């Protein structure tokens, strides 16, 4: 008999047909005549109740003690309307087989464990309600990312994970090398001789696919990347990881306004897909993780994102200057407390801030005519702050060249990037959405380490 998922069985009617289900036992109740146990297989949060009539001798005294929380089982029987409350159907067992026992030291009991505790137990974490829900929501979001772009004719570009470009304008990089760290070859000056390294030069893990993907935007027009990125920054916060996933669309013939509107459509699309497809999980988050989350997200869907220039945002912050530890003034980089204030107290929802001072933004952003600001945009959301960072790119060769020089970088290292401005340059724009921040935003999960299967952060690399 073919096997059904718990999700499929719970969604069908109890018509007494023969079915087979496999999963792990969550809970068990043993009474005089009947054994009840609930199995879960990850296909949904709810478990399927299995009912064993002891008189039928299906479960004997040897098997019964093996039916414990965490054990894996294979059950055949009839799907019938449930006698109990809270579920439509249950499985009346005819055969029960334990595939793998879970001895007494199995740590997942009914009590709740802290997320920190769970991070250290690889086998247990994905079997919890919360992490199961995160996993399903994450999956729905990943698929929705591709549907959104594919429906709009964007091409998915696989930008490299190992990069030969020395600095991509976004934070510290992890080096990739096969040289012996204790005795690297050295040149006459005593410096490490990277010409003898694996790639014949210094190599790093990418911090962003943007510079590479711009080459494809300036040929295929609308493109995006979706892959892992790595940042060796010592940020021990609840919204930074050392390895995270990023989605970076890049559009030719597109200015900052077009960029801003795509970002808004994109976030709203992702939200709507999760609200439609992950109802059970979203109800769970709303109840246990972030109260009022569902209502907030629904409101976001119905309301246009607010938009302020950086200069106006600073003016708003200065009005409330006394409430900040870090005093706002024109020219500063917005701090988490400022982003929180703007989204939560000034606009009450997502906010796009544009036209930042050029000195706090990356070299490739298009310079405004005022000589002070660049065509940058960040999308900020309540609780988290920045979720998207993007810009219109500088498409003027001379301006970009002189900015690179001004910032003390070597234009020769960027000749391949500057060339885009030499041959058929076009206005183009793009942004990066931190995928885990999006998962956090949608679920309300507090710590970014709890929305990725295996978190990597400073001094943290289990498994």
- Contacts to ligand ATP by CB under 6 A: 170-171, 231, 235, 240-241, 244, 246, 386-389, 432, 434, 436-437, 448
Whether the Cβ atoms of residue 297 and residue 284 lie closer than 8 Å to each other: no
Q: For strand 203-205 and strand 175-176, is the pairing parallel, antiparallel, or unpaired? A: antiparallel
Residue 191, CB half-sphere, CA atoms under 13 Å: how many? 6
Smallest gap from Cβ 346 to ligand ATP, in A, equals: 19
End-to-end alpha-carbon separation of the chain, Å? 37
Smallest gap from Cβ 452 to ligand ATP, in A, equals: 9
Identify the sign of the CA torsion 380, 384, 388, 390.
positive
Whether the Cβ atoms of residue 45 and residue 135 lie closer than 8 Å to each other: no
Identify the sign of the CA torsion 207, 210, 211, 213.
positive
State how far Cα 450 lies from the chain centre.
Answer: 10
Smallest gap from Cβ 228 to ligand ATP, in A, equals: 11
Task: Pick the closer one to ligand ATP by CB: 6 or 365.
Answer: 365
Task: Pick the closer one to ligand ATP by CB: 50 or 433.
Answer: 433
Smallest gap from Cβ 247 to ligand ATP, in A, equals: 9
Task: Pick the closer one to ligand ATP by CB: 194 or 431.
Answer: 431
Smallest gap from Cβ 211 to ligand ATP, in A, equals: 12
Task: Pick the closer one to ligand ATP by CB: 127 or 403.
Answer: 403
Q: In terms of C-beta density within 10 A (0-12 exposed, 13-18 middle, 19 or more buried), how is residue 397 classed?
A: middle
Smallest gap from Cβ 231 to ligand ATP, in A, equals: 5
Task: Pick the closer one to ligand ATP by CB: 8 or 386.
Answer: 386
Q: In terms of C-beta density within 10 A (0-12 exposed, 13-18 middle, 19 or more buried), how is residue 260 classed?
A: buried
Smallest gap from Cβ 5 to ligand ATP, in A, equals: 32
The whole-angstrom separation of Cα 114 and Cα 348 is: 30
Residue whose C-alpha is closest to residue 338's, from 322, 317, 359, 362: 317
Smallest gap from Cβ 99 to ligand ATP, in A, equals: 38
Which secondary structure element, helix H or strand E, spans residue 216, and what is its range?
helix 210-220
State how far Cα 338 lies from the chain centre.
Answer: 23
CA dihedral 308, 442, 161, 215 (to 10 degrees): -40
Smallest gap from Cβ 229 to ligand ATP, in A, equals: 8
Task: Pick the closer one to ligand ATP by CB: 93 or 374.
Answer: 374
The whole-angstrom separation of Cα 50 and Cα 98 is: 13
Task: Pick the closer one to ligand ATP by CB: 8 or 243.
Answer: 243
Task: Pick the closer one to ligand ATP by CB: 267 or 404.
Answer: 267
Task: Pick the closer one to ligand ATP by CB: 24 or 417.
Answer: 417
For residues 41-53, one letter each, b for 16 or more C-beta atoms within 10 angstroms of the residue's C-beta and e for the rest, the string is bebbbbbbbbbbe
The whole-angstrom separation of Cα 454 and Cα 115 is: 13
Task: Pick the closer one to ligand ATP by CB: 350 or 434.
Answer: 434
Calculate Rg over the CA atoms of the chain.
27
Smallest gap from Cβ 171 to ligand ATP, in A, equals: 6
Close Cβ partners of 372 (under 8 Å, ≥ 6 residues apart): 357, 358
Task: Pick the closer one to ligand ATP by CB: 69 or 373.
Answer: 373
Smallest gap from Cβ 376 to ligand ATP, in A, equals: 9
- Write down the number of H helices and E strands in the chain: 12, 16
């Amino acid at each position: 008999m073919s096997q059904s998922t718990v999700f499929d069985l719970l969604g069908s009617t109890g018509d007494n047909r023969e079915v087979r289900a496999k999963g792990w036992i969550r809970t068990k109740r043993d009474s005089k005549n009947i054994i009840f146990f609930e199995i879960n297989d990850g296909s949904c949060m709810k478990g399927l109740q299995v009912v064993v009539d002891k008189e039928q001798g299906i479960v004997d005294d040897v098997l019964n003690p093996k039916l414990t929380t965490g054990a894996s089982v294979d059950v055949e029987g009839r799907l019938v309307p449930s006698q109990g409350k809270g579920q439509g159907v249950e499985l009346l067992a005819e055969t029960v087989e334990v595939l793998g026992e879970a001895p007494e030291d199995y740590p997942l009991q009914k009590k709740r464990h802290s997320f920190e505790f769970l991070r250290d137990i690889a086998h247990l974490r994905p079997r919890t309600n919360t992490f199961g829900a995160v996993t399903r929501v994450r999956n729905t979001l990943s698929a929705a990312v591709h549907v959104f772009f594919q429906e709009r004719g964007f091409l998915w570009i696989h930008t490299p994970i190992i990069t030969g470009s020395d600095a991509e304008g976004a934070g510290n990089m992890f080096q990739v090398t096969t040289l012996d760290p204790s005795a690297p070859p050295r040149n006459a000056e005593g410096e490490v001789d990277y010409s003898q390294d694996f790639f014949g030069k210094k190599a790093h893990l990418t911090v962003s696919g943007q510079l590479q993907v711009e080459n494809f935007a300036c040929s295929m027009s609308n493109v995006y990347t979706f892959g892992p990125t790595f940042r060796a920054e010592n940020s021990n916060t609840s919204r930074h990881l050392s390895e995270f996933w990023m989605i970076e669309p890049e559009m030719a013939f597109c200015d900052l306004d077009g960029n801003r509107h795509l970002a808004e459509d994109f976030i709203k699309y992702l939200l709507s897909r999760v609200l439609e497809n992950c109802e059970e999980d979203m109800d769970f988050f709303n109840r246990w993780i972030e109260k009022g989350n569902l209502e907030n997200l629904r409101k976001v869907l119905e309301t246009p994102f607010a938009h302020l220039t950086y200069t106006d945002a600073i003016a708003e912050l200065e009005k409330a200057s006394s409430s900040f530890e870090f005093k706002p003034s024109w020219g500063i980089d917005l701090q988490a407390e400022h982003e929180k204030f703007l989204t939560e107290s000034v606009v009450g929802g997502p906010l796009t801030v544009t036209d930042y001072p050029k000195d706090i933004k990356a070299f490739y952003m298009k310079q405004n005519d005022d000589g002070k600001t660049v065509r940058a945009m960040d999308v900020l959301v309540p609780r988290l702050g920045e979720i998207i960072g993007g810009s219109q790119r500088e498409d003027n060769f001379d301006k970009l060249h002189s900015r690179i020089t001004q910032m003390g970088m070597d234009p020769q290292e960027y000749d391949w990037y500057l060339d885009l401005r030499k041959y058929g340059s076009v206005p183009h724009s793009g942004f990066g959405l931190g995928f885990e921040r999006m998962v956090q935003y949608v679920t309300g999960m507090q710590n970014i380490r709890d929305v990725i299967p295996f978190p990597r952060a400073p001094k943290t690399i289990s498994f």
